[in-house]
Structure 1
Amino acid sequence: MRRAVCPGSFDPITNGHLDIIGRASKLYDVVHVAVMINKSKQGLFTIDERMRLIERVTAEFGNVVVEAFHGLLVDFCKERDIPAIVKGLRAVSDFDYELQMAQMNHGLSGVETLFVPTNPTYSFLSSSLVKEVAAYGGDVSHLVPAEVLGELTERLAAR
């Protein structure tokens, strides 16, 4: 069984994330979406909320498993016998950082990293940018799945 992981904080998941996960789901039998737990950061959504949203918007793929993780991604991969990490690249600046991470991960465990160029439609997109634009009342409906938009709008209105 061919397995890969798409890691991230996904706070919230965007159409760019969904594009990478969907493309990975066509290449692998099982795609694990690993939601990073960073105790030093306070996210807009809790880990459980992020996982629930990701499960809803990836259900159509049929081969995505959503899990939380804390610690080294290579340990997550070892525990689940996952030989590949799939990462989207938006720009050359992403490549510099991601190449270092890929080389470190390979050196630590032999896990391979596959870089997928982001769809140009989403090349500027990040969760942080979505939250910032939405917080100021900007229209982000074309940047996140409808389920996420509803919860994002509610959460920001409650702040």
Structure 2
Amino acid sequence: MLKAIFPGTFDPFTIGHYSVVKRALTFMDEVIIGIGVNDGKRTWFPTEKRVQMIRDLFKDEPRISVEAYTGLTVDFASERGAGFIIRGIRTVRDFEYEETIADINRKLSGIETILLFTEPELTSVSSTIVRELLQYGKDVTPFLPEGMKIE
């Protein structure tokens, strides 16, 4: 059984994140969406709210689970029996960063990272931009998966 972790802050979970998860399900038996908790990072939504929003989104997909975690992603992946980490890549800068992390993760644990390039029409969508739009009271539904509710 092929199991992967898709880690991130997901503040909030965007259509880009959704696309990566759906594509990962075409070659993975199970995907665990891991919401990394970093107390030093300011987030718009509390961790519990992010977990619940994503669980609600995938409530009809038994191959997806959602968990919050602290510590290193490779440790979380190992604890869950995942042999892979899935990451989405929007830019060359993302690629360079993820390549470095993937090399370190492989050396630490043997866990492989699979990089999925963002669909061209989604490259401009980021959680950072969505949070900024929320801050100014703008409608962010075009940047969220269909059915995701922001409250």
1:71-110 matches, cutoff 5 A = 71-110=71-110
Contact between 2:3 and 2:29, CA under 8 Å: does it hold in 1? yes
Matching residue of 1:59: 59
Q: Give the drift of 1:137.
A: 3.2
Matching residue of 1:11: 11
Contact between 1:25 and 1:61, CA under 8 Å: does it hold in 2? no
Matching residue of 1:47: 47
Q: Is the counterpart of residue 116 in structure 1 residue 103 in structure 2?
A: no
Deviation track 1:69-123 (CA, whole Å, cap 9, x = no partner) reads 1001111111111110010100111001000000000010110000001011210
Letter in 1 for 2:95: F
Runs of 5+ unmatched residues, structure 2:
none
Matching residue of 1:156: none
TM-score, normalised via structure 1 length: 0.89
| Larger relative helix fraction | 1
Matching residue of 2:145: 145
Contact between 2:35 and 2:51, CA under 8 Å: does it hold in 1? yes
Runs of 5+ unmatched residues, structure 1:
152-159
Contact between 1:12 and 1:148, CA under 8 Å: does it hold in 2? no
Identity %: 37
State the Cα RMSD in Å. Answer: 1.4
